[in-house]
Homo-oligomer: A and B are copies of this chain.
Amino acid sequence: MAGIRGNAVVGQSGGPTAVINQSLVGVIEAARSSGVIDRLLGARHGVKGILREDFVDLFAEPRDVLEEVARTPSSALGSVRQKPKAEDCYKMFEAMRKHGVRYYFYIGGNDSAETVHIVNQAAKQAKYDLRCFHVPKTVDNDLRVTDHCPGYGSAARFVASAFLGDNLDNRALPGIKIDVVMGRNAGFLTAASALARKWDDDGPHLVYVPERPFFLDRFLADVEEVYRRLGRCVVAVSEGIIDGTDPLKRTVAEIMAEKSARAIEKDTHANIQLSGSGALGDWLASQVKDGLSVEGRLGLGLRVRADTLGYLQRSFPGVVSEVDASEARECGRQAVAMATAKDCDGSVVMIREPGEYRVRYEYTELQNVARETRSMPDSFLAADGNNVTEAFLEYARPLVGPLPPNGRLLGMIR
């Protein structure tokens, strides 16, 4: 059963990833060979580009340019964070009608899936015949249904590499080091820090994620215990950790900002700005300094440092997981194949097969991935709430690929 004949539009939305252009090129390839899509329009900056009829003719792009773009991080068409209102949808359908658009592909995370869902519902109401397909992408790995998300493997590879190096840095010049990792609702990316461990005493020694309440006193006690044992401590903390003492279950970052009377930015999907500031890391470091670098705890002169990995995590070039890159490409292809061959609306999910690592691609309905996010399962988190389990490491390893060497002189093994 083949889909309707017509043109298609594709956009990219939300935070960029290192492989989001692989998905774009996957959409282009599959659209070209679909037999039913005559023109593929790239919308500049997502829905904003559709509203403005600001399009790129993607079938005019040469093969070599596309291959270079596929290996270039961040959204090649530009991105946007915008939840369309009903009137936006009708304006978009006008633009689409004018350009003969019958297919709408949108590459993004849960908020972008919500956008596709909204557009899909509005199209049905408006009786505008439009196939709406979401192509998954997020470094947070928090989309539901799918085993994992394109973009996660490469970001996780960056985080694991960063901790591999930073743990060795901390080993060379001992002290307490706190690294803040992206992750608004889910701890998958922060958890990837643990993939860097090879030797018994390798960090991160403590891992805090949004799935477990954060208590400052427990955190300080954890750091003290590790420092007394190893003479150093590396900590991975999600930017989205939740204050366990707060009745509203707000993030530590939000409460901190409130105390310092700093205004907090929100986007149209009601997400609070967490990244792009070193405040949480600096605050945690000052708490460690004030709480532990005193007589009776760890003594004066404690070396405490914090880094916030920041936007590098989602757009760093050259630290890409090969599995992630090829899966991102295939998700783009599959979206087109499903939309045209099955004549349906939805999203692409990856199901992991048993045995040696491989995935198969399946279809799911938009409502299953839109808006709501997925958290790390309990089996991935240690009972103490300050670490990950071997089950998580087994899950994540094939997504990230082999890491750089972490060699140690025989004389330095104790």
Q: Which residues of chain A have a CB within 8 Å of any CB of chain B?
A: 12, 15-16, 18, 21, 42, 44-45, 56-58, 60-62, 65, 68-81, 161-162, 164-166, 168-169, 171-173, 177, 265, 275-279, 281-282, 285, 303-312, 314-319, 403-412
Contacts and interface: CB of A to CB of B under 8 A. Distances in A.
B311 A305 contact: yes
A99 to B, nearest CB: 15
Contact of A172 (B57, B68, B74, B405): B74
Given A18-B165, A162-B312, A165-B315, A61 B277 contact: no
Q: Shortest 6 CB-CB distances between A and B: which pairs? A: A278-B278, A276-B305, A56-B411, A68-B407, A307-B310, A74-B168
Contacts of A76: 407-409, 412
A306 B282 CA distance: 14
Nearest to A164: B317
B311 A310 contact: no
6 contacts: A15-B173, A56-B412, A74-B171, A161-B316, A275-B305, A278-B308
A405 to B, nearest CB: 5
A165 B74 contact: yes
Contacts of A315: 165-166, 168-169
A76 B73 CA distance: 33
A16 B77 contact: no
A311 B312 CA distance: 13
Contact of A410 (B62, B275, B410): B62
A61 B409 contact: yes
B410 A317 contact: no
Given A68-B405, A317-B161, A404-B318, A279 B276 contact: no
B169 A311 contact: yes
Residue of A62, A309, A315 with most partner-chain B CB within 10 A: A315
A155 B173 CA distance: 18
A60 B405 contact: no
